[in-house]
Structure 1
């Protein structure tokens, strides 16, 4: 049986359930269209800093934030387009703005479709007209996400996209990784290092980018929780980022279409023609080991 419930609190929350699979998803359109909780067989898979989430002046640290129209940060938070300089903060604005519920489905599956359109607030920092349509679907032990980006401008629209899942972990030393890359770039030192599917969790912060993937499938096994999470994503999401902080019960494995500062450098940047659309997918599947 599939169902969608509604909970009204500080932010309206939609709760999707697949009772046969004992899976549950919470989505908050008003807070950046974010997924705040994903549970399978009663186990929470996502980390959420509830204090930051309750403060609208702070960026959310937890769940699955949406990154658009940039991933990461720009030097001095600025970029130039047609000779004019604009200010755009880290990861863009999609994760902060309210999204609209466009559709809900509970027959044969359970899904919710959200939309975000350009407005005066977005055009002040990003002079393009767009429509984003995201669909979140529960399929047993899988969370499937589909994304459609449409350029409503009269000129080509440059952008990058990404997702920032925060996975809950009680003991990072019990994690085992299968990331399809042989080298990584340390964003703190800018060094390119060989990668052997291990991290030094004694470091205060790990912020590594994997720009050269050999496949679009990565997985992390958590031996302490006897479970694994497999991430699959579209080819156009060509980069993975791993980020974590010492002493925090999360790790992030983030598929991005381009690296930091792509809006200035042009590297792997999408240029969507007027009236055109781009579609991508990111799916997460949990397994028990």
Structure 2
């Protein structure tokens, strides 16, 4: 049985539930349209820095933040459109702005639609009119995020988009990573390395960018928490990023449509013609074993 409810906490929070599997997701539209929590039989899937979350002036560290209109950062936070330089912060502004919940359903799944449109504030750093509509749909132990990106400008609109899910983890030495790529670039050093499925979790930070993906699925098995996370994504996504910090009980496995600096390099950049739109789908499946 599917259910959708809402309650006023610090922010209005939507709860999507599937009673058949004991799966429950919380969505907070006002705080960047983010999923903050995912419980399966009372066990949490996502990490969330709860204290940081209470401060509206700080970006959320946890849950599943939305990256738009860029993934990663730019040199000097700067890119150029038609001869004019613009400055924009890492991962863009979608994760920081209030979204609006516009529809919900509990028919064939538990779902809520959240939407975001351009405004005068966004156009100071991104000179385009746009509309985004994301549908969060919970069915069993799978969260599907269906996305629509629409260009409302009179000129072509370039962007990249992605997600930055924080997964709660146990002993990282017991994590097994399956990423469909034979190599990665260390974002800190810009060095390239072959990938054999293993990371050195004794490093202070791991920030690895994987391209040339050979399949549309990736996974991490946490043998400490007995939790397997599988992420499936369509052809919109061209890169995966694995990021974690020593001493923190999370790791991030992030599907991106393009890598860092694509607003300048144009590599894998999505460009929508005026009044055109495109769609993308990403699914996360979580199973405790």
TM-score range, shorter chain: over 0.9
Displacement of 1:265 in angstroms is 1.0
Moved more, 238-247 or 220-229: 220-229
SS of alignment partner, residue 122 of structure 2: helix
**2:107 counterpart of 1:107:** yes
Aligned partners of 2:225, 2:243: CA distance in 1, in Å? 20
CA-CA distance at 1:130 after TM superposition = 0.5
- Partner residue, 2:128: 128
Residue 43 of structure 1 aligns with which residue? 43
Instruction: Output the CA distance in 2 between the equivalents of 1:70 and 1:107.
Output: 34
Render the CA deviation track for 1:265-285: whole Å, top value 9, x for unaligned: 111101101111110011011
Q: Tell me, yes or no, if structure 1 residue 196 matches structure 2 residue 189.
A: no
**1:215-272 Cα shifts (integer Å, max 9, x gaps):** 1101111111222111000112010000000000000000001111110111110110
TM-score of the superposed pair, with normalisation by structure 1: 0.98
Partner of 2:258: 258
Residue 63 in structure 1 maps to residue 63 in structure 2? yes
Structure 2 CA distance for aligned equivalents of residues 276 and 146 of structure 1: 17
TM score, norm. by length of structure 2: 0.98
Partner of 2:223: 223
Q: Does 1:205 align with 2:202?
A: no
5 Å-filtered alignment, 1:1-289, equals: 1-289=1-289
Q: Which consecutive residues of structure 1, in runs of 5 or more, have no partner in the other structure? A: none
Worse-superposed segment, 145-154 or 5-14: 5-14
| Residues 2-11 or 145-154, more deviating | 2-11
Q: Aligned residues, how many?
A: 289
Aligned-CA RMSD value = 0.8
C-alpha separation in 1, matches of 2:17 and 2:280: 24
Distance 1:288 1:88 in 2: 39
Q: Do the aligned residues in 1 keep the contact of 2:184 with 2:192 (CA within 8 Å)?
A: yes
Unaligned runs of 5+ in 2: none
